[in-house]
A and B are shown apart, each in its own frame.
Chain A
Amino acid sequence: MTKTKWVGTDVTRIDAKDKVCGTLEYMSDLSFPNMIYGAVLRSKYPHALIKKIDTKRAKELDGVVTVLTHEDVPGLNGFGIAIPDQPVLCRDKVRYMGDAIALVGAESKEIAEQALELIEVEYEPLPIVDDPEEAMLDTSPLVHETGNIHNHVKIERGDVEAAFNEAYVVVENTYFTPRQMHAFLEPESGVATIDDDKNITIWCGGQHPYRDQLQVARALGMNPRKIRIINTPAGGAFGGKDEITVQIYLALLVLHTDRPAKIVLSREESVIAGMKRHPMKIYMKTAAAADGTILANEVRVVSDTGAYASLGGPVIGFAIEHSCGAYRVENVRLEGFCVYTNNGVAGAFRGFGANQVTFAVETQVDMIAEKLGMDRLEIRKKNGLRKGDIAALGHKMEASVGLLRTLEAAENSRLWQLREELKAKPGAPHKKRGIGIACSFQGCGLGKGLPDYGAATIELLPNGQFAVGVSCPEIGQGNTTAFVQIAADYIRCSIDDIVMLSGDTGHTLDSGTSTASRSVYTGGNALKLAAGNLHSAISTLAAEILSVPESDIDIEYGSAVSKSCPEKTVSFKKIAELMVERGKTIKGEGYFIWPVSETELEGYVGIPHLLYSYITQIALVEVNTLTGETEVLEAVSVPDPGKAINPQGVEGQSEGGVVMGMGYALTEDTIIEEGITLTRNFSTYILPTSLDMPCEIETIIAEELEPSGPFGAKGIGEAVCVPISPAITNAIHDACGVWMKQIPATPERVYTALKSKEVP
């Protein structure tokens, strides 16, 4: 492995100072002269026909600049990453309360909001469908004419029935998971400008500027090259800004008014209109032999994608791929449905379908261990995937597999070693302590079926610094800092000499999404190639300067050196000066395409994956048996990110992930009843606060280097929030003997479970 100066060290985040001091300008902080403010009219009903839209009174209001409807969408009136089934502005039908019907541009935010009240819409309410399983019936109202089942995945391997028959133990359960909210601090917001040639620039937090560009272009019927998208920085995204949010509305406003425009959604509007994690109902029947070998798994998942598809199709595929956990299972019958309802919209969310099924399968594994009297860690080690194993979908684990490494590190952690002692710690008699463990894997990249590509640029600047461009946006995960470290070690320069360009179609090539735990791996690999090309260009000029053949040039940190005559050196700064003098540019571009699994699943795109990150997490909880309250006292998180480019960054992701997964396990759920969102802000949507966090989260990084990754790196952004949820619910069982089959494990649910069981 190459010796590194920056990679593997705790370099301070490049945006740390501005974020800590509050000086960083997010998109909603930007303003332009003569700017108008936009507001969106959302539907009054979760399901209705639109009979008439009258904007006359709104248009007459003083200070209103424009009121737009479906008639004003010049291109395709739809958006959606996979299929454009969501109208930009609804014409004849609304399918959820967040559906947009009209768009107002006004001199102030207040006037824009006032104008919304003056728009008259005549609706004919339709019967709603809010239960995904009912939605699958022929008798159900149709959300879309094409039918309510958006995607169906079915994969069978081996002989499930035979395995169930010969099994020593079979556990069969149905699990329910909540509609978790991304709850980014910065709600969906942005600004846009338009120039005299109708070139549009949009600043809007997002996760793939080049795809935003195409979606906006499609709705505007414009050449994408006339639209510039800037996605960095985003004040949090977690998948919730992967889909279009307000970009098209901003574009429509500037297009129709020739003035800059700004839209900032209120928290309530963000909650109602924005993406959520798919609630799933998961039936799972798992068989094991007397020695704990998992023999078979039968899974049926029904996923509620709400009114529109977004990435609901790929999410159910991903869920099925991960539904047998990070284990060898030879006999599987896996079926998943992604179903339309009038319940909001669901889409990408950190974990991408793995969270739901991991909760189910990790509970099943603990149940099996209990029935067999087996150690919970041992059963995981016994069945856990190793390199070369065949995973549930029948694909070979060809890349680095760090599961065992994470399990072993978890086993050696203080929390696991002292578990009996910690559990027995004297507390109040009505409080019971328990320890839970869970592990998982997380597919990185977009999977088999579509090329997952990326690019990067490095350019020597006149002052001797390097402009490094990767378009995968900074959404708070710290990828720009990782790119700076990776670039500095590939270029061989100081991190202080790097000017990072991120998330901007105007200044970076298309590097794909900041999703799928893919950006560090993709950007890093593209940077490696770009640095190689940059070095060639540097060598050419250095050879001229030093009067040595190009092949004699070696690149050291900060300079080019003659191999044969090491005293002959020229600094990058000097090379830059001469580059300017001679009117040259020195630049390297790198293009990278992901390797994929050899296994192809006929008819499916996005599964299986070749590369996975692995993780084991442990939770120590205390359950108050009088109230059902669960407190997570401590947690251990053992991720395998491949090479940790920035260990502190991995720790940050790990700690944030633990708390996000804790909220999923214990408190968070967006309640929608009959299509109406009840939890509209953070007073009723219960996010954990700093006081709810475990007093200690220990992160142990278990690096299993991935040969194809930059310096051995994979990705870790998602896995960190996944197995902690079942680790917590398994800990609840360990504490007081009840299995939580529905999360969040609220005090009521825990209490009810306790009551029906009676604490021993």
Chain B
Amino acid sequence: MTLGFIRPETVYEAMEFLSEHKDNSRIVAGATDVMVQMRSAKSTGHAEEKPLWMVDITNIPGLSYVNFENGIVRIGAMTTHRDIARSAVIRDVVPFLADACRSVGSPQIRTRGTIGGNIVNASPAADSLPPLTALSARLRLISRKGPRDVALEEFFKGPYRTIIEPDEILEEVYFEAPESSSGCAFLKLGRRESLAIARLSVAVLLDVDESGKISKAAIAPGACLPMPARITSAEEALIGEIPNEEAVHSASLEVGEEMVRVSGVRWSTEYKKPVVCALTKRAIWKALGVDED
């Protein structure tokens, strides 16, 4: 495989290049997924035959930021997991996103890897996606044709597949900040404490009204669905309930059922189904302020 490498200095330059090399270019930011995938392809003898342009966007200024204005949180695509995990805004407004970004890989990976890369790579196990899904985040994509905004849930076509056009660049992800009365939680099950790809994860965002009833609920599991999605049936099981074990239990069961319905029964289902339920339960209670760990 022949590789070309280009490092544009501006968004415009990058868009120009991408529109000219639509069929054989790939954007790299932190390269924490791309490099691993290329090495893996090489070692299994599945490397691409055709020449490929690597379009390194790390030199483009202005794509790394966390802004909070008018109730909207905007995160630049080039913002690293490390910066998000440490962002005062994120930790304050959506701590479960900080937790998710802190659970990515290792310090080295978090320092290089970006949220934009995490989204566009579209791994079913991506750590930032469950909280972003629970937040109903939206994405802004840009190209020479102009910008377009899409809902995160509409962005994915399947594992590692999205609707992004070859000449488009993800500019930012943004979402409405949840009510200050809300609670959230992200839990992840990996094979070890660090450098662990999620085997299962779940993000929960809840709001409880003055009467003590759950008024809003968003539940998004990770690593068990082909692409990020909220489990509305689970959310419905909670809404209107004063937090109680039975409601939490039935919400968690809905997540397990949905996983089996969407992903089918696999060798791992016997383990993953009850465990995703257990994880969801704990995440719901954690979002309600009851942390059992």
Contact = CB atoms under 8 A, between A and B. Distances in A.
- Direct touching of A and B (C-beta under 8 Å): yes
Contacts of B271: 628, 747-748, 751-752
A680 B195 contact: no
A686 B194 CA distance: 10
B69 interface: no
Contact of A681 (B39, B270, B278, B293): B39
A683 B275 contact: no
Contacts of A746: 191
Interface string A736-760: 0000000000111001100100000
Interface string A686-706: 111111100000000000000
A430 interface: yes
Nearest to A689: B194
Given A689-B192, A751-B271, A680 B40 contact: yes
A258 interface: no
A430 B187 CA distance: 16
B244 interface: no
A667 B191 contact: yes
B189 A752 contact: no
A584 B45 CA distance: 62
Contacts of B191: 667, 686, 746-747
Contacts of A752: 270-271
Contacts of A748: 268, 271
Chain A interface extent, by class: 20 to 34
Interface in B175-201: 189, 191-195, 197, 199
Given A428-B293, A430-B292, A688-B192, A44 B45 contact: yes
A629 B275 CA distance: 11
A430 B278 CA distance: 10
A688 B270 CA distance: 25
B195 A689 contact: yes
A747 B275 CA distance: 10
Interface in A640-689: 667, 680-683, 686-689
Contact of B194 (A44, A428, A429, A691): A691
Given A683-B197, A689-B193, A689-B194, A627 B275 contact: yes
A266 B193 contact: no
A269 interface: yes
B193 A692 contact: yes
Interface residues of B, number: 26
Contacts of A692: 192-194
A626 B193 CA distance: 17
Nearest to A688: B192
Interface string B258-293: 000000000010110011001100100000000011
Contact of B278 (A268, A627, A687, A688): A627
Contact of B275 (A626, A689, A691): A626
Contacts of A751: 271, 274-275
B85 to A, nearest CB: 15
Interface string A394-434: 00000000000000000000000000000000001110000
B191 to A, nearest CB: 5
A628 B40 CA distance: 30
A750 to B, nearest CB: 10
A430 B189 CA distance: 15
Interface in A262-281: 266, 268-269, 272
Nearest to B36: A683
Contacts of A629: 189
Contacts of A680: 40, 43-44
Contacts of B199: 747
A428 B199 CA distance: 22
Contacts of A429: 292
A491 to B, nearest CB: 46
A692 B197 CA distance: 15
A434 to B, nearest CB: 18
B284 to A, nearest CB: 14
Contacts of B193: 689, 691-692
A683 B189 CA distance: 15
A682 B195 contact: yes
B43 A268 contact: yes
A746 B293 CA distance: 20
Interface in B18-47: 36, 39-40, 42-45
Contacts of B36: 683
Interface in A706-760: 746-748, 751-752, 755
A73 B293 CA distance: 61
Nearest to B44: A680
Nearest to B277: A626
A632 to B, nearest CB: 11
Interface of A: 44, 266, 268-269, 272, 428-430, 626-629, 667, 680-683, 686-692, 746-748, 751-752, 755
Interface of B: 36, 39-40, 42-45, 106, 189, 191-195, 197, 199, 268, 270-271, 274-275, 278-279, 282, 292-293
Given A268-B39, A689-B106, 8 more contacts: A266-B39, A266-B43, A269-B43, A272-B43, A626-B279, A689-B195, A747-B191, A751-B271
7 pairs of A and B residues whose beta carbons are closest in the complex: A691-B193, A268-B43, A626-B278, A428-B292, A689-B194, A691-B194, A748-B271
